[in-house]
Structures are given as C-alpha cells and as structure tokens.
Amino acid sequence: MNYHILEKENLDGFIKKLAKKMKVCAPVAKGHNNFAFEEVTSAAEIALNYIPTILPPKKYFMPQREKMLDFDISEGKPKDTATLEAPETAIFGVHTCDLAGIQCLNMVFSERPRDYNYLLRKEKMFIIGLECMAYCDGSASCALVGNHFPNGGYDLFFTDLGEKFIIHVNTQKGEEFVESIGLPKATAADMAALDKAREAKKAAFQNEIGVDAKKLPEIFAKAMESKVWHDVGARCVSCGNCTNVCPTCYCFDMADNVNLDMKTGTRNRTWDSCQFETFAAVAGGENFREERAHRQRHRLYRKFKYPLDKFYRSFCTGCGRCTRTCMAKINLKDTLKALAAEHK
C-alpha cells in the first residue's frame, strides 16, 4: 500500500472529515499523566503524546459489560433475541503495543467456537495507529517483545516527521478514505525522513530486562516451581487490576438476569479475572488455583508460555499497564529478571 502526507496543521480537518463518516475515539487527557480513549470531534481534544491509556482499546471490541440476548420463556418454548451494538468507529492514535493486543484478540476470537459479537464489531472498526518515537515511561517493555515497531493490524498508521505526519495505508478501507480527502502521496524525501526516524528508534529502544526474548520460553518451561511465584504471591492482593487493564486478557463471566415476572430477562457477560479467588472455584467447593502465587504464575504463563506454544507469539505486548496499575507495586520487568536469574 501507499504512503501519504498530512501536514500537522491539517490534523483537525482530518479528524472532522473522519467524524462525518463515523464515531471517532482517541486518547484524551484525564488528569495528571492519565489518559483514556474517548469520543472526540476535533484534534484539540486529542493527546498525541501519551502513556498507554487506563484501559486499552479492546474495550471497543469486547465491552466491559455487554448484553448478549433477551430471553422469554412465558409461552413454554424459550425464545431469545440476540443483541449487538456495533457502530462504525474510528480509533485514532493506537500505539503499537495496543495494535499487537488487538491482533492477539483477533486470533483468540476467530477460533472455534468463534465469538461473533467480537468479530462483527471488528469489521466496524477503522484503526489508525500512532508511532511512539520514544519510550512512554519506565514501565514499558515493548522492545523485549518486539512491539516497538509497527507490525500490521491497522488501516492507517501515523508517524511524526516534525511538521507533518507520514501515513502508511495498510488496507483498502484506509486507501479509500485517504483518497476521498485528497491527501498527497509521500515523496522520496519523506520516505528518507521516515527511514532516518526509524534508525534513531533502534538506538532508543532496547531490550528492557537484559535477557534475550528467545530464551523466555525456555525460562518459563523450567519455572513452574520457582520461588519467585511465592514472593510475588505474598505481595499480591488479588485486586485483578493487572488483568483488567491488559490488552490481551479476554476472560469473561456470563450470567442470566431474570426479571420480576420470572419469565423474561437478559443474558449478560462481564470481564472476569484469573486473579480473583473465585475464578477457579468449581462444583463441590474445590478451587484448583486457590493460592495467589499460583494465580500470578498462571497470569504470566498466559503471556509468555501458553500462547507461544499455541499461536507462536507472546501475549504480553509490553504496554506496562499491569505494572502501573498494580496496587502492590509488582513490576513485570522485575519478575522476569528474577525468573531469568534463577535460570542461570
């Protein structure tokens, strides 16, 4: 696909033209060093320099609370009507770590049995990435997992070249929009500036834990009985913050809510967390992951071991949200370093 140019002074016009076609969501400042994806109508509302938002953009693909269907058993034979809210939505300013998170969820929910609510919403999304030219903060580990450079998963991708953005067009949908607003194509000089910016990034972004990422599967293969899990578990308060903010966590709970007539109601799903004590509770009062140490171990194996075995990619995107939001100040990079130290 092609590369196009957008002068920064024309970003507001770009957003307003996009907003005429669909709802536009972008990162917005929410107090000191906090940001959230919210609906916007102008470029002035958008935070272009931001650390990862409180919740990742996955909230538009799988809402925190979602009604799945209405049911009615009043006439003997149960009847149900599926519901789905999926407006055309553009998500502007998605960092590469969150693009990677969406790619992970795409794989999970495309497996049988497919999650059609997720997949139908995905088709309504117009994703516009925004490149990080420097680290968000010290919690990020995107270079470790290779998510500091763009690797697909978007319709358009913006890179800051100073007075202008260079835009990579990655899909037909993206091409049609760019052509509809008449953006000029990038010149040879623009492409050279992009190459220069990317070269500078290679020096700025380095492996954050000093351990070769290729060795992580081997480290986790031997870490099942590590004392690190007990050290982390002793600090964990099982609040579930780490999983709620994670771009690739997708567990949910399903519940039927019956109305007072005892014949009609709704089926709803909400985000759930493997860090909650009740998550692994089963019939008979058994709990196969009762200890916090085991739940923490499970969380990291779901990022660095199990998905690599199944999907051949890490489900940690390096965004750093779990570290920033942890009430017990558990740092992901410190945990990985401790595991690596045991492996030597």
Helical spans, DSSP H, in the chain: 11-21, 96-110, 116-123, 172-180, 188-204, 216-221, 227-235, 241-244, 292-304, 306-311, 321-325, 332-343
Question: pLDDT of 10-47, one tens digit each?
Answer: 999 999 999 999 999 999 999 889 999 999 999 999 99
Let me know whether 145 and 163 are in one domain.
yes
Q: What is the pLDDT of residue 201?
A: 93
Q: How large is the average pLDDT for residues 135-158?
A: 96
Task: Give strand pairing partners of 156.
Answer: 128, 169
- Domain co-membership, 152 together with 227: no
Q: Is the model's pLDDT at 344 over the cut of 80?
A: no
CA quadruple 126, 322, 147, 219: dihedral positive or negative?
Answer: negative
Whether 155 has a pLDDT exceeding 80, the answer reads: yes
> Looking at the structure, do residues 188 and 48 belong to the same domain, yes or no?
yes
162 shares a domain with 76: yes
Query: With 80 as the cut, is the pLDDT of residue 1 above it?
Result: no
Residue 105 has pLDDT above 80, yes or no: yes
What is the rounded CA–CA span in Å between residue 47 and residue 28? Answer: 5
Name the domain count of the chain. 2
Q: Which of 74-78, 81-85, 99-103, 117-121 has the lowest mean pLDDT?
A: 74-78
State yes or no: pLDDT of 85 exceeds 90. Answer: no
| % residues pLDDT > 70 (the chain) | 99
Would you place residue 189 in the very low, low, confident or very high pLDDT band (cuts 50, 70, 90)?
very high
Rounded Cα distance, 175 and 170, in Å: 8
Which residue from 117, 123, 128 is spatially nearest to 62, judged by alpha carbons? 117
**Which of 181, 204, 227 is where one domain is finished?**
204
Instruction: Locate all alpha helices (DSSP H) within 85-187, ordered by sequence.
Output: 96-110, 116-123, 172-180
- Residue 328 tokens, joined: 């017990």
pLDDT digits (tens, 9 = 90+) for 294-330: 999 999 999 999 999 999 999 999 999 999 999 999 9
The position carrying tokens 């171990």 is 297
Exposed/middle/buried for residue 227 (C-beta within 10 Å: 0-12, 13-18, 19+) = exposed
pTM: 0.95
pLDDT for residue 173: 96
Range of the domain at 144: 3-204
124, 170: one domain: yes
For every residue of 1-40, DSSP letters joined together read --EEEEEGGGHHHHHHHHHHHSEEEEEEE-STT-EEEEE-
Q: Which two tokens stand for residue 175?
A: 């091409």
Q: Does residue 301 share a domain with residue 281? A: yes
Whether residues 324 and 198 fall in one domain: no
Mark whether 142 and 219 lie in a shared domain.
no
- Domain boundary (139, 172, 204) is at 204
13 and 153 co-located in one domain = yes
Predicted local distance difference test score (pLDDT) of residue 167: 98
Res 18: pLDDT: 98
pLDDT reported for residue 76: 78
C-alpha to C-alpha distance for 105 and 338, rounded to whole angstroms:
29
Q: What is the pLDDT of residues 211-238, one digit of tens each?
A: 988 899 999 999 999 999 999 999 999 9
* Domain C-terminal end among 156, 182, 204: 204
User: Which whole number is the average pLDDT over 254-282?
Assistant: 95
The answer on 165 and 239 residing in a single domain is no
Same domain for 232 and 172: no
CA-to-CA distance for 32 and 324, rounded, in angstroms?
A: 14
Percentage, residues of the chain above pLDDT 90 = 92
Q: How far apart are the first and last CA of the chain?
A: 45
- Average pLDDT, stretch 279-307? 95
Residues 266 and 125 in one domain: no
